[in-house]
Structure 1
Amino acid sequence: MSTYDQIADLPLKVQSYELEGLEFAAPGFDRLSTVIHLVGDGHEGIGEDVVYDALDHVAFQDAGAVLDLAGDHTIESFSKLLEEQGVFPEPPEREVSVNYRRWAFESAALDLALRQAETSLHEHLGREPKPVTFVVSMRLAPIPAEGEQAEPSTIEPVRDRLAVYPDLRFKLDPTNDWDDELIAQLVETGSVDSLDLKGQYKGTPVDVDTDPELYSKLIEAFPDAWLEDP
């Protein structure tokens, strides 16, 4: 039985939901997201909509809780209800954003259903939980504003954080100005767990053109790191 089949029939009671806007301002890029608070039977489940385009978040938050989600459901029937009603009042800036928002509602629903059942995901699935590692995700240079020259990547953002929190782990977004010296400096820190190559991103502020030579250097330099999105 698949993991989804094991959660599909979980009972879910929804009374209301609320939206909470979050914003992180970085040079050249404002990152907005929306936390969905799904409420029912004295419990709350949360999920986060991580759609990339700020205008989609502004429209979502301005519209408020307009979906009719109240009632008794299962995880599967709730998902079908989202499909029927649609999670965007107007078409999003990019088509894939429909998935991101729907997953936010569905993750909030699963969180709420598990709380209402007084259990956890690993208990419901009969699995033993194992330790996880949280990482700091970032670039090594600010994202340039439109029309501005990009600043060079440096080791300093990593060193500054390690000086305060020596045990930090990192997920870094390599850019095509990473040279041999910078790669060697990062290897020396021993703190890089993941490299997000952004190879499939198109039309976003974080796009990076594929550079096979850089990929080869990274694979050799970080043999134990996760390589994302080549």
Structure 2
Amino acid sequence: MAQLIEGLTVEDVRANVERVRSEIADAAARAGRSADDVQLLAAVKYVAIEELPVLAQAGISLVGENRAQELERKVAAPGGGQLTWDFIGHLQSRKVKTILPLVRMIHSVGSASVVEQLGRHAKDGTKILVEVNIAGEEGKSGIAPAALDDFLDRAQALSGVEVVGLMTMPPLAADPEDSRRWFAALAALAAARGLPELSMGTTQDFPVAVEEGATIVRVGTKLYL
């Protein structure tokens, strides 16, 4: 397990946030987009729970957690209530009921069992993104592009659920440019289906994701270290 990130200062995190936002703005400008159309989500999987007040004071408002149990702990912790939470990790169907009241949006809906639980527990206004295994990687979470329409039909039929977009994690790559084709492919899938939100891009490749249409980038260590 990666070491927890501790000892953050408001000044350092604020400076990092400003640098990342500047990179987002530059990438958006290169693509002829407005930086206002891109949300910065701070991934906090490895951030110690005691550091949450620092994030809020440094100007971070939207955060994402990968694990349902940690989401519960962090939302209830000091500083957690000052932040808006999304769920961005692999979602087990048995955890759907637990996380729904805690989050603005679920980024990682990618199985029939999760859709079934959403149908049982979602309230009006539940926003979700469908996770797409854009590169068809063996053993990776997400819906195959060829199965996307059938999956969307099922999810969009749920009472109280609004499918607002797609999410993906491209194959690991040393060069961010290697992710470009996968981001472009996800953007094309979303555009063809009238889905406005695209959650794609992380610390190593978010500028490329912005250039290809990301509306939410999930940035972690670059905000803290």
Q: Establish whether TM, by shorter chain, passes 0.5.
A: no
Higher strand share: 1
Q: RCO greater where, 1 or 2, for CA within 8 Å and sep 6 or more?
A: 2
* Structure of higher CA gyration radius: 1
Q: TM-score, normalised by structure 1?
A: 0.34
Higher helix share: 2
